Structure 1
Amino acid sequence: MKIMTPIHAVGWAAGVFGAEKSFLANPILGSRRLNELGLHRARVRAAERMARFRRSMLRDIPAEDRAAYDRDGFVIKENYLPPDVFDRVRAEVFGQSHPAREMRQGQTVTRMIPLTHAAKRRAPETVRVAHDRALNRLAGYVAGRTGAPIHFIQTVIAEPQRGPADPQTALHADTFHSTSKFWLFLHDVTLEDGPFMFAPGSHKLTPERLKWEYEQSLTAKEAKRAHHSFGSFRVGADEMERFGYRPPQPVPVKANTLVIADTYGFHARTPSSKPTTRVEVHGHMRRNPFTPWNGLDIQALPGVKGRQMDIYFAWLDYWNKPTIWKDVGEVMADAPAAI
């Protein structure tokens, strides 16, 4: 272990200048002394400034989408697809089984069906919609950096009668900088179905939020909540006013609604009091927050773009690496949980 320490130290130091967020895994990020001197606060402030700079260089974002994001931290587009295209996507998603993986978090199972190039044979329309250039440019604007998002069909299965609470129902930020996630909902999601929840305006770095980020960094390594110590800070809904944000609000939607959100903003899944299943075309975008450019994304290289999930899982399987994503074979998108 001691022989490897210098190599690990290089990796830990490099992580400070990238997207690494865990106060547990990286002893530099988790150092109370360095965070007292302002390490985490400096990373948050620098990432926010760089994201604003990169967004300022993106010219082809519709004005109404730019205004919605700048005001709220998310964009909602109802009736997103033409009806015939939406019907074809639903037919592809629900009309056949797909190779899938599942992850359980307390009372909730998330199923992932990758929309890589390999999926074109089964679901060409769905892959085309997910990889649409305008959609991915908007996802890049929200994330504060363009690039190649990762796409998959996502099924969220709530089983409130089982296990501990889903940690994703606690209001939280995914990491210390702007990232984006989008959901194209394939059926209605009502308040009873546990919809997405977001605190409007919470993507903005106010002085109060920055002070809170500093305070959290001093104790995050010892936090009892694992996600908090991993750098996905949890927060109480009653603190939104303190930060200058509006209260969190659930976002029920009709089928064929697209939602894109900056998950540096405080968000959560609304808890569901009954068993529910919802299916959506999903994508997410998270990159190094400190680079001054858009594009030049390693995940957009030929042979990599559109194959990120295939490459990732092939690497895990080859090296027999443990993963929270369990291979469940071929299943219908809306089938009951297999794990």
Structure 2
Amino acid sequence: MRLGTFLISALKAPLWVAAIPTGAKSFVGNPVIGSPRLNRWGLHVVRLRAAASMTRLRRGWLARRVTAERRAAFARDGFVVMPDFLPAAAFERLRAEVLDAPWDAHEMRQGSTVTRRILLDVAALRQDRPTLAAFLENPDLLALVRYIASTGGAPAFSIQCILANQAGAADDPQCAVHADTFHSTAKAWFFLHDVGPEEGPFLYVPGSHIVTPQRLAWEREQSLSARASARRDHAEGSFRISADDLGRLGLPAPRSIAVRANTLIVADTFGFHGRTPSPVATRRIEVYGSLRRNPFMPWTGLDPLSLPGVKSRVGSALVVLDRLGIARMPWRPVGRIRLDAPPRI
């Protein structure tokens, strides 16, 4: 090892160690988290088990705000599907507010799929798009997202347009069945159009959010070689799983969830999930939300994004953090466009 490389590593080592009790997940970006020796001794499994224990504790505190029926569906499957989430009239008003005007958009290309996002601030929407603002503050929506994420705080919401099967040679990595990270997180999708079986619907492996001895053994196995994986997402800690390994874990085949417009899905993305490949060019538009915080905290509060003056401006806060290099986003600004416009990247 060259002297310069050694000195840089020595300076970074305390930061790599300090990342262990956080949500840091990259095996290739953090030599401590990615160390085969430490993971052979159990580092990754210890982190996963500790995060799962805190998840159960926090989720118990948040349970009273979620109906027993929804809690049971989540416990069984790892996701909750709610058709006709809004009254019909409110849904049509929300659709008009979203679809009938241009937005300041960001885009990201992954293989042949382009994801277009509009980061949302409730404060900026209340006057011109009151139905959308009310949806983002819907108590049932927020309670379920927080329960599944097992934390309080302010979800980050955006309008998302998925443009699948566009020009591009590479495969869409989101079509590989995967877990986002080693701990529970919540993602939500509220669909503004019908999404049929061939239009890239969400898929999920029912029950894969449960930490079982088989899952722990598989996670340990992956942790020993993840740093050297040729699959970048896998090396970054978003483990991909094969059909054979799902069988080894005693899990069923992924379930593709076609939906009608006005359906809400909220899922724990520690469970194995993905996007069903679309055989034709498709476009789907949804309101998308996510909530992920440090999995080792024993409390549900103290969320910086919930501070007064920030919680209704989460989208703007994320843009500022990106510009400062604190929380980099993979999406690039593409100007003010309508959601049904062709991809810009």
TM-score (norm. length: structure 2): 0.94
**Larger displacement relative to structure 2 (190-199 or 302-311):** 302-311
Q: What's the offset of the Cα at 1:327?
A: 0.5
The match for 1:128 among 130, 134, 137 is 134
Please state if 1:46 is matched with 2:50. yes
Query: Match for residue 85 of structure 1?
Result: 90
**Larger displacement relative to structure 2 (259-268 or 286-295):** 286-295
Q: Distance in 2 between matches of 1:319 and 1:56?
A: 35
Q: What's the offset of the Cα at 1:13?
A: 1.8
Q: Which amino acid aligns with 1:91?
A: A
Moved over 4 A (4+): 1-7, 318-323
Query: Match for residue 267 of structure 1?
Result: 273
Q: What's the offset of the Cα at 1:9?
A: 2.6
1:167-226, CA deviations, whole angstroms, 9 ceiling, x for partnerless residues?
Answer: 000000000000010000001000010100000000001101100000000000000000
Q: Distance in 2 between matches of 1:257 and 1:70?
A: 20
Query: Match for residue 108 of structure 2?
Result: 103
Q: Distance in 1 between matches of 2:88 and 2:60?
A: 34
Q: What's the offset of the Cα at 1:231?
A: 0.3
The match for 2:28 among 24, 27, 40 is 24
Secondary structure of 2:198's counterpart equals helix
Query: Match for residue 202 of structure 1?
Result: 208
The match for 1:112 among 88, 110, 117 is 117
Secondary structure of 1:128's counterpart equals helix
**Structure 1 residues 194 and 203, CA gap change in structure 2 (3 angstroms):** same
Runs of 5+ in structure 1 lacking a partner?
A: none
The answer (yes or no) to whether the contact 2:321–2:328 under 8 Å persists in 1 is no
**Structure 1 residues 273 and 51, CA gap change in structure 2 (3 angstroms):** same
The answer (yes or no) to whether the contact 1:160–1:272 under 8 Å persists in 2 is no
**Larger displacement relative to structure 2 (31-40 or 294-303):** 294-303
1:26-84, CA deviations, whole angstroms, 9 ceiling, x for partnerless residues?
Answer: 11101111111100010111111110111112212101100000000000000000111
**Structure 1 residues 79 and 217, CA gap change in structure 2 (3 angstroms):** same
**Larger displacement relative to structure 2 (7-16 or 234-243):** 7-16
The answer (yes or no) to whether the contact 2:120–2:314 under 8 Å persists in 1 is no
Q: Distance in 2 between matches of 1:316 and 1:114?
A: 12
Please state if 1:14 is matched with 2:14. no
Q: Distance in 2 between matches of 1:233 and 1:321?
A: 21
Query: Match for residue 191 of structure 2?
Result: 185
The answer (yes or no) to whether the contact 2:318–2:327 under 8 Å persists in 1 is no
Q: Which amino acid aligns with 1:108?
A: T
1:279-290 pair list within 5 angstroms: 279-290=285-296
Q: Which amino acid aligns with 1:260?
A: V
Q: Distance in 1 between matches of 2:325 and 2:241?
A: 37
Q: Distance in 1 between matches of 2:91 and 2:137?
A: 15
The answer (yes or no) to whether the contact 1:115–1:127 under 8 Å persists in 2 is no
Q: What's the offset of the Cα at 1:238?
A: 3.0
Q: Distance in 1 between matches of 2:275 and 2:57?
A: 31
The answer (yes or no) to whether the contact 2:149–2:291 under 8 Å persists in 1 is yes
The answer (yes or no) to whether the contact 2:85–2:262 under 8 Å persists in 1 is yes
The match for 1:258 among 252, 255, 264 is 264
TM-score (norm. length: structure 1): 0.95
Q: Distance in 2 between matches of 1:322 and 1:44?
A: 25
Q: What's the offset of the Cα at 1:10?
A: 2.9
Q: What's the offset of the Cα at 1:319?
A: 6.3
Give the aligned length: 339
Runs of 5+ in structure 2 lacking a partner?
A: none
Q: Which amino acid aligns with 1:335?
A: A
Q: Distance in 1 between matches of 2:339 and 2:148?
A: 28
**Structure 1 residues 6 and 134, CA gap change in structure 2 (3 angstroms):** farther
Query: Match for residue 294 of structure 1?
Result: 300
Q: What's the offset of the Cα at 1:245?
A: 1.9
The answer (yes or no) to whether the contact 2:246–2:253 under 8 Å persists in 1 is yes
Q: Which amino acid aligns with 1:77?
A: M
**Larger displacement relative to structure 2 (240-249 or 46-55):** 240-249
The answer (yes or no) to whether the contact 2:16–2:31 under 8 Å persists in 1 is yes
RMSD: 1.8
1:300-337, CA deviations, whole angstroms, 9 ceiling, x for partnerless residues?
Answer: 11122132331222343366997531111111122221
The answer (yes or no) to whether the contact 2:206–2:252 under 8 Å persists in 1 is yes
Q: Distance in 1 between matches of 2:312 and 2:340?
A: 24
Please state if 1:62 is matched with 2:67. yes
The match for 1:72 among 67, 72, 77 is 77
Query: Match for residue 221 of structure 1?
Result: 227
The answer (yes or no) to whether the contact 1:206–1:244 under 8 Å persists in 2 is no
